[in-house]
Structure 1
């Protein structure tokens, strides 16, 4: 799929702007705080998700220069090609409430857009995938799986609820040791059954996406380094759901006493991690800024490839502030070697823009967007 036209009225610092991007690489450049990211954010909202910058919907309308307060509403429009035809969507935000229109049919909520527009986003915050602890990496797996398999979201939610119930029971038993033990065994069984499904899905997804991540990183790094990712469950062994469930039950029984003392469950998919290594060493501990950025980029672009295989259409790829701390060879790869998908890249440096060989450029200055010819 690809964007044909994007328009914004009173969105962030965009008073009334529209762009007609190409189907390949679109570079959006300009100084900081001019509105580059606002274009990507506006397009991302058509996935039905929240702002990737963590903003509330009430913060998205343009600030009135006279009052210094956000206007009451904003309107966005997207013409796009998907499912072998041209389609259109509109999104309005009034007083923090969303409404949408899809191919002329009005919808009461913005969630009606979910599944209509598929996109993958990279923003500087995603660098925490490598830099921070395992929670971010688990979220990467879970977010991708929820897009691919709606049923996974239900299992994950049920697992988290069962985990909360078991943890509450552990705390209760710590405070009242005379509490009967049979209740804990019931929650052990439920947690093991649901957790085994989560682990198996994560393992299967990682096995599918890992070669793609390595291949993309190889292209970005021009073969100078090798990136490897692997799923690291806290419950070791097992490949089928049944095998993992049995091993999980054994671990829950083995750790029950220490879990009661601590008041939380020490094993399970909520404790798992995704190892990211460059040339055999931890990217988190030893990777340079450029290597870490390249690793996250490879993970996001691999996610796009998985979505393409699943849906039969390539998602829109949105890369925000991606070029900083990358050498010229890595920048060249992103600008000129991402084939078969529509890409939007924001950057500040005019020197970086000059590396682009094909596609389109848009210069953003003070909320105004100026398309440029090569």
Structure 2
């Protein structure tokens, strides 16, 4: 069974960050927004992410989504998934409301799984040059998306870890501790196995991205060789140590590594190589979504040409043209794009968006405001 491509036809934004009113019309392939720094290019990608997740992809918890001197912001998007679908977001400081097909969304997870969006952005999750915990959360999120019941195993595993810690502090009997230690191992083993399977599949996909990255990328985990009997024995023997420093053994402590030329990419790769590696990982992630969820996500690439020379820029565009996903990306003013590329380029300035070929502006109509207010 083939995967269903997901794409956005139109995004309407009102009072979001620096924007008064903007309409962004998109095509199913590559869409590039070009503009000066501070013109709000990233904000338009952020609007797409907000429709899928109800929150921003920026790392900082930013309360300034609403434009200054405004009470609330509105986003309305027309998506294509089998048929046309309408997603809306209305927000005030600290609160957002999502609506799908005119109805309030009760579980945001249902929207993010039905309208998947992947993002590579300087202000987003630091997979390439971030902390190990950030990488581990990314990998585990992908596992939860793809493998049935893993979310339940995570929840019960972490509950058992916390309960064991509480009982250690209370100095309870060994029998009580043993019950929770058995649960740690019981629920932890499927997590370890799922990680191993996912890493194997990602590495197979990353081999196919050598044309983009020049050298192969490889993902691995620094972790002990988990064995049920040895794991239980270790938990029993290290109770006193775990009481002092906490449990530092298990899936919640494993380290995710990304190797480039047989070295950690955080230290071995240049900024341009790291950029291409991050996009290659998103390509692999997109393929995983297609394989397990039969959906092709929308791919957001913010400042996609950062630190890339012309050769690497051309290599990137060639790879993106062969990607089945809709790609929404941004680049700074003055960037040179080859005329033979099959890409829609739009310019963003204080007056809104215009197509670079025709120069025609796209602005929000009066009736759009009414529709968005009703959707909120």
User: What are the Cα deviations for residues 227-264 of structure 1, in whole angstroms up to 9, with x where unaligned?
Assistant: 1112332x315xxxxxx43342233234334323x331
Deviations 1:175-220 (A, max 9, x none): xxxx43222222211111111121111111111111112322x121
Provide Cα deviations, 1:54-88, integer angstroms capped at 9, x if missing partner: 46685322112xxxxxx221111111111x22222
Q: Does 1:41 align with 2:63?
A: no
1:15 aligns with 2:15: no
Tell me, in whole angstroms, the C-alpha distance in 1 between the residues paired with 2:258 and 2:111.
34
Contact between 2:9 and 2:80, CA under 8 Å: does it hold in 1? yes
**Residue aligning to 1:357:** 341
Alpha-carbon separation, structure 2, partners of 1:96 and 1:199: 36
How far did residue 275 of structure 1 move? 2.1
**Maintained 8 Å contact 2:54/2:97:** no
Judged with a 3 Å threshold, the aligned counterparts in structure 2 of structure 1 residues 154 and 25 are, in CA distance, closer, same or farther, namely same
1:236 aligns with 2:257: no
Note if contact 1:100-1:110 (Cα within 8 Å) is conserved in structure 2: no
* Alignment map for 1:168-179 (pairs within 5 Å): 168-173=166-171, 179=172
Deviation at 1:32, TM superposition (A): 1.2
Shift in Å at residue 354 of structure 1? Answer: 4.3
Partner of 1:225: 215
Determine if the alignment matches structure 1 residue 197 to structure 2 residue 179.
no
Note if contact 2:203-2:217 (Cα within 8 Å) is conserved in structure 1.
Answer: no
Q: Cα distance 1:284–1:255, how it changes in 2: closer, same or farther (>3 A)?
A: farther
After TM superposition, what 4+ stretches of structure 1 lie above 6 angstroms from structure 2? none
Aligned to 1:255: 238
Q: How does 1:260-279 map to 2 (within 5 A)?
A: 260=243, 262-279=244-261
Specify the alignment match of 1:72 in structure 2.
Answer: 71
- What TM-score comes out, normalization by structure 2 length? 0.85
State the partner residue of 1:160. 158
Aligned length, in residue pairs: 350
Match of 1:318 in 2: 300
CA distance, structure 1, for counterparts of residue 165 and residue 229 of structure 2 = 20
What RMSD over aligned residues (CA atoms) do the two structures have, in Å? 2.4
Hey, what's the Cα distance between the residues in 2 that align with 1:157 and 1:195?
10
Report the equivalent of 1:188.
181
Aligned equivalents of 2:290 and 2:84: distance in 1? Answer: 18
What does residue 314 of structure 2 align with? Answer: 332
Contact 1:9-1:76 at 8 Å conserved across structures: yes
In the alignment, structure 2 segments of 5+ residues that lack a partner are: 1-5, 359-376
Match of 2:365 in 1: none
Distance 1:123 1:268, change over 3 A: same
Aligned to 1:284: 266
Distance 2:252 2:66 in 1: 37
Relative to structure 1, the CA distance from residue 57 to residue 128 in structure 2 (aligned partners, 3 Å threshold; closer, same or farther) is closer
Q: CA deviation at 1:126?
A: 4.8
Contact 2:37–2:332 (Cα < 8 Å) also in 1:
yes
Render the CA deviation track for 1:24-54: whole Å, top value 9, x for unaligned: 1111111211100000000111212421014
What residue is the counterpart of 1:214 in the other structure? Answer: 207
Assess if the C-alpha contact under 8 Å between 1:100 and 1:113 holds in 2.
Answer: no
Give 5+ residue unaligned stretches, structure 1: 65-70, 174-178, 238-243
2-structure distance, mates of 1:21, 1:95 = 28
Give yes or no for the alignment of 1:343 onto 2:327. yes
Tell whether the 8 Å contact from 1:99 to 1:110 is kept in structure 2 after alignment: no
Structure 2 CA distance for aligned equivalents of residues 302 and 113 of structure 1: 22
Q: TM-score when scaled to structure 1?
A: 0.85
